[in-house]
C-alpha cells in the first residue's frame, strides 16, 4: 500500500467513514498484543514490571494508575489514561481510534469501551467493514459493571454510568445516567455528599462496585 493510499484510509477513518480490515492492515505494527499478554500474566508482586509494560502498551498513562488484569485491547497504543485511574478486571478497549480517559476515573468489572461499529447492511461488512469514532471519558467519572460505551461518546466530568448500561450518546457532566439505551436519571447535587455517610441516607444504588 502506498503512502498516499494509507493517508487516504486514515482520512476516512478520521471522518468516521467505513473502512476494511485489509485497508487498515498497515496499522498492525501499532498493536501491543504481546505486551498485553505479558501484562495479564505478570504476578501481582511484580508491580514495577506491570508499570513498565503498561507504559509500553498505552499511548500515554498517568501516575498512580491501577489496571487489574486481565484487560484486553485491540491496539493498546490508542488508549490514553490520566492520573489516579482505577480499572477493574476484564476491561476491554476496542481502540481502533483514540480512547481518552481523564484523571480520577473509576471503571468497574467487565466494562467495554468500543470505538468501532459495523454497517447494518451485510454487504458493507465484507472484509470486516467497520467505522470508528473516538471515546472521551472526562475527569472523575465512575462507570459501573458490565456497561458498554459505544463509538463517539463523551462522558462528562464527574458523571456516574449505571451498571449494565449501554451508552450510545453523550452524557452531560455531573449526572447519573442508567439504562439501555443509557439516559440521564438525575443531576448529582450537594445532597449526594451525605449519602453513605454516618447518619446519611442512600437515594439509589446506580452502579456495581468499582
Task: Say how far apart CA 113 and CA 26 lie, in whole Å.
Answer: 23
Catalytic status, residue 80: no
Task: Say how far apart CA 65 and CA 39 lie, in whole Å.
Answer: 14
Please give the grid coordinates belonging to residue 166: 449501554
Please give the grid coordinates belonging to residue 123: 454487504
Q: Which residues pair with 109 in a beta bridge?
A: none
Catalytic residue among 5, 41, 118, 157: 118
How many helices (H) and strands (E) in the chain?
3, 19
DSSP string, 88-154: -TTEEEE-SS-EEE-TT-EE-TT-EEE-EE--SSGGGGGGG-BEE--EEE-TT-EE-TT-EE-TT-E
Question: Annotated active-site positions, please?
Answer: 118
Amino acid at each position: 500500500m502506498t503512502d498516499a493510499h494509507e493517508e487516504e484510509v486514515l482520512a476516512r477513518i478520521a471522518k468516521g467513514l467505513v473502512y476494511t480490515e485489509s485497508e487498515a492492515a498497515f496499522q498492525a505494527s501499532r498493536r501491543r498484543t504481546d505486551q498485553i499478554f505479558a501484562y495479564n500474566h505478570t504476578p501481582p508482586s511484580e508491580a514495577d514490571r506491570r508499570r513498565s509494560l503498561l507504559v509500553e502498551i498505552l499511548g500515554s498513562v498517568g501516575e498512580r494508575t491501577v489496571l487489574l488484569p486481565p484487560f484486553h485491547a485491540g491496539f493498546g497504543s490508542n488508549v490514553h489514561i490520566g492520573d489516579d485511574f482505577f480499572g477493574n478486571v476484564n476491561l476491554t478497549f476496542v481502540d481502533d481510534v483514540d480512547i481518552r480517559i481523564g484523571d480520577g476515573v473509576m471503571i468497574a468489572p467487565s466494562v467495554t469501551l468500543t470505538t468501532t461499529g459495523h454497517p447494518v447492511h451485510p454487504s458493507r461488512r465484507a472484509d470486516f467493514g467497520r467505522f470508528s469514532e473516538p471515546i472521551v471519558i472526562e475527569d472523575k467519572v465512575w462507570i459501573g459493571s458490565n456497561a458498554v460505551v459505544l463509538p463517539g461518546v463523551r462522558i462528562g466530568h464527574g458523571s456516574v454510568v449505571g451498571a449494565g448500561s449501554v451508552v450510545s450518546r453523550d452524557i452531560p457532566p455531573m449526572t447519573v445516567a442508567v439504562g439501555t439505551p443509557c439516559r440521564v436519571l438525575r443531576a448529582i447535587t450537594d445532597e449526594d455528599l451525605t449519602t453513605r455517610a454516618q447518619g446519611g441516607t442512600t437515594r439509589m444504588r446506580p452502579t456495581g462496585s468499582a
